[in-house]
């Protein structure tokens, strides 16, 4: 994990070309961290098909009582925010 990231979660979103793409939701520890920095970090440490196509910053991630990230809730929130956004994101 990048030192400027407090926590993150990856979810799958629809993609026209590949069917599904990786979207990374990030809670920053360092406010100077930007999308380009994280994308470069991912390219250096992950295989190409695991690199996120989309990166979005958020203030917190929904979790269960034991601390696991609720990925389904993240995806549902994205759909509720903008139903057509996932296809374009």
Does pLDDT of 30 surpass 90?
yes
CATH number at 27 reads 3.30.300.30
Full domain range(s) for residue 24: 5-88
Domain count, the chain: 1
pTM as predicted:
0.83
Does pLDDT of 77 surpass 80?
yes
Q: Which residues pair with 21 in a beta bridge?
A: 13
In the three-class reduction of DSSP (H, G, I as helix; E, B as strand; rest coil), residue 11 is classed as: strand
Cα separation, 33 vs 57, whole angstroms: 10
pLDDT at 18: 87
pLDDT at 88: 47
Confidence tier at 65 by pLDDT (50, 70, 90): very high
Nearest Cα to 84, choosing from 13, 11, 25?
Answer: 13
What mean pLDDT do residues 17-32 have? 93
Confidence tier at 16 by pLDDT (50, 70, 90): confident
| CA separation, residue 19 to residues 9, 62, 63 (Å) | 20, 26, 27
Residues for the chain: how many in total? Answer: 89
């Amino acid at each position: 994990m990048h030192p400027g990231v407090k926590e993150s979660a990856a979810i799958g979103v629809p993609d026209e070309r590949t069917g599904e793409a990786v979207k990374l939701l990030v809670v920053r520890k360092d406010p100077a961290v930007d999308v380009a920095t994280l994308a470069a970090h991912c390219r250096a440490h992950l295989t190409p098909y695991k690199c996120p196509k989309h990166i979005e910053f958020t203030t917190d991630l929904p979790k269960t009582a034991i601390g696991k990230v609720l990925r389904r809730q993240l995806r549902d929130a994205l759909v509720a925010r903008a139903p057509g956004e996932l296809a374009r994101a």
